[in-house]
Amino acid sequence: MVQLLRSLTLMMFCKKASGLLLPYQNSRASVWHTSSRCVRSFSTLQNEDEKMDAEESLVNGAARSNTVPAGDSSSKRKRPQPLEPPPGPETFPLWAYEPRPFFEFELLYESKKSLARVGRIHTPHGVIDTPGYVAVATNAALKGVDFRSADEAGQQLIFCNTYHLLLQPGTDVVEEAGGLHNFINRKNGPLITDSGGFQVFSLAYGSVHEELSTGGELKRASPKNKGRDLKGNAVKVTEEGVIFRSYRDGRKFPLTPESTVQAQKSFGADIIIPLDELPPYHIDPTVLSNSVERTHRWEARSLNEHLKDVKEQAMYCVIHGGLDRDLRKKSLEYLTSLPFDGYAIGGSLGKNGDELMELLEWMMPMMNEDTGKVNRRNKPRHLLGIADEPSIFGAVRNGIDTMDSCYPTRLSRHGTLLSREGKVHIKSGRYSRQYGVPIDRECQCSTCMQYDRPYLWHLYKANVSLLHPICNHVYNPMLL
Ligand SMILES: [Zn+2]
């Protein structure tokens, strides 16, 4: 019954998703890999000597190849040397192009009016109905919501961030626990992890919003502070990978296309992401082109590392190119020609919802093409880091299957709750006498079944730490 209701809702969702414009949007992309020698340095380096060795090996590797500061349009001192193009699809083993027995995308329905579609992703830890919202558990925990509550609400795929898990508790702790599913005791729910690069580059270059708020100047990557994180620590990008410092204790971490895959193997999520570079929104076209090329090489290296031991994990590529259509097309064509199991869309997707929609409307028809070698419509598509309320409609209309964002939890912490009747600004006094009225009259979550608006208004006004019942509601509206 619930499933039927869900399917019907999804169908309605596809029909409804037509012609909406979006508000602000951030975007995300991922980062890179390392040599096997550096893999262990992620979280297991025991002393300063080992750390220095790891750093030295990266730096030496960089000297042998290229040293190109990301986003640096004035790298006149060290002119990049021509690099090998990324490996072609013929360099990957034939078996890698065969269907995976443990991961399947089932296409159930395609709209005749748009690119919207309904599907089902089968993973080793459960099914993901699409289109679907992906909750973000940054530190392997949902903010204010227990995994059981999220599961009961119908949340299926959950996103965990490799960057944060590398720093705390570290790959060794999660690995010894038997992987993330065991560590968080969520054994029947699919998980996805990213490469860690998104956070590294975000800390260095700031968000699109921050760029815009400083009039186009990169707040954290200004000429004075270029390539540094919030504390002024250098984020060193080379062909080999990136070295960053832990915001927790200042330790240096090398992150490479190979090492992120090794880390994600330790975590054991159902879906993993290769290393890519997240260039800032404001970027010189030549620098962006170089960045996309580097990302292609990094993603191919990550894929090769992944294929050494697949471990019943699926790997999605991350399509880049920013708003440059030639680069987007090039990235899409190259990455979809490789044996990835799904396609994530990352990089800069514009400064607002209009730019995002323009890009998706232009790009997504290509995702339905059958090239003769690969039928792109048969693989799932994920929109990285964007799932605000209006964007969901536009993304689904353009054939996006899943999308992740902290949007609903961030919104709720600031007192705005989503409902089928619109946004409920629960801290407003006008809800203080609406006895017997839940946040959402149709919602079946435990909060809406137990509490009314006046009590929740009181909780918000009294103490934010009492917001647990509110948080229980957060995910339900996103599961339409
Ligand atoms: Zn609810």
DSSP letters along 444-459, please? -SHHHHH--HHHHHHH
What is the H or E stretch that residue 105 is in? strand 104-110
Contact between 208 and 202 under an 8 Å Cβ cutoff? The reply is: no
Tell me the average pLDDT across 192-216.
71
Question: 158 - beta bridge partners?
Answer: 135, 191
Domain with CATH 3.20.20.105 in the chain: 2-405
pLDDT for position 77: 52
Per-residue confidence (pLDDT) for residue 415, from 0 to 100: 87
Pair of tokens at residue 44: 């297991």
Q: Give the number of other Cβ atoms within 10 Å of residue 367's Cβ.
A: 20
User: Does position 17 have pLDDT exceeding 90, yes or no?
Assistant: no
pLDDT band (50, 70, 90) for residue 332:
very high
Q: Which fold has domain 2-405?
A: TIM Barrel (3.20.20)
Q: Do 123 and 100 meet the contact criterion of CB atoms below 8 Å apart?
A: no
Measure the CA–CA gap between 449 and 423, rounded to whole angstroms.
18
- Separation of 5 CA from ligand 1 center, angstroms? 16
Q: 44 or 283: which carries more pLDDT confidence?
A: 283
Distance of CA 25 from the midpoint of ligand 1 (Å) = 25
Helix segments in 337-422, DSSP class H = 353-363, 389-397, 407-413
Summarised one tens digit per residue, pLDDT across range 66-83 is 333 344 444 445 555 667
Confidence at residue 381, expressed as pLDDT on a 0 to 100 scale: 98
Q: What is the pLDDT of residue 203?
A: 74
Question: Of 86, 32, 98, 104, which Cα lies nearest the Cα of 339?
Answer: 98
Cα atoms in the 13 Å half-sphere on the side-chain side of 206: 21
CA distances from 430 to 188, 354, 424, 454 (A): 41, 33, 10, 9
Band of pLDDT at residue 235, cut at 50, 70 and 90: confident
Phi, psi torsion values for 105, nearest 5 degrees: -105, 120
- pLDDT value of position 247: 78
Grade residue 45 by pLDDT with cuts at 50, 70 and 90: very low
**Is residue 406 within 8 Å of residue 369, measured between CB atoms?**
no
Report, as an integer, the average pLDDT of 132-145: 90
How many angstroms separate the alpha carbon of residue 453 from the centre of ligand 1? 11
Instruction: Find the range with the poorest average confidence among 20-24, 161-165, 241-245, 412-416.
Output: 20-24
Higher pLDDT, 22 or 48: 48
> Who contacts 352 (Cβ-Cβ below 8 Å, separation ≥6)?
22, 23, 24, 25
Helices 389-397 and 2-16: crossing angle in degrees, nearest 10, is 80
Q: Which of 72, 129, 229, 404 is catalytic?
A: 404
- Is 50 exceeded by the pLDDT of residue 218? no
The pocket of ion ligand 1, defined by CB under 5 A, consists of 443, 445, 448, 473, 476
Q: Look up the pTM and report it.
A: 0.79
Q: Apex CA 21: angle with CA 17 and CA 27, to 5°? A: 100
d(Cα 343, Cα 364) in Å, to the nearest integer?
Answer: 11
Task: Output the CA 231–ligand 1 centroid distance in Å.
Answer: 40
CA distance 195 to 204: 16
- Coil, strand or helix: which one is 361? helix
- H-type helices in 126-276, by residue range? 147-152, 162-167, 171-176, 180-183, 197-205, 208-213, 257-267
Q: Catalytic residue among 72, 129, 194, 440, which?
A: 194
Instruction: Report the pLDDT averaged over residues 193-210.
Output: 77
**Is position 194 annotated as part of the catalytic site?**
yes
| pLDDT of residue 112 exceeding 90 | yes
Ligand 1: centre distance to CA 471 (Å) = 9
| Of 69, 71, 375, nearest in space to 205 by CA | 71
Average pLDDT over residues 277-282: 86
pLDDT at res. 61: 34
> Can you give the pLDDT at residue 35?
28
Looking at the chain, the whole-number percentage of residues with pLDDT higher than 90 is: 56
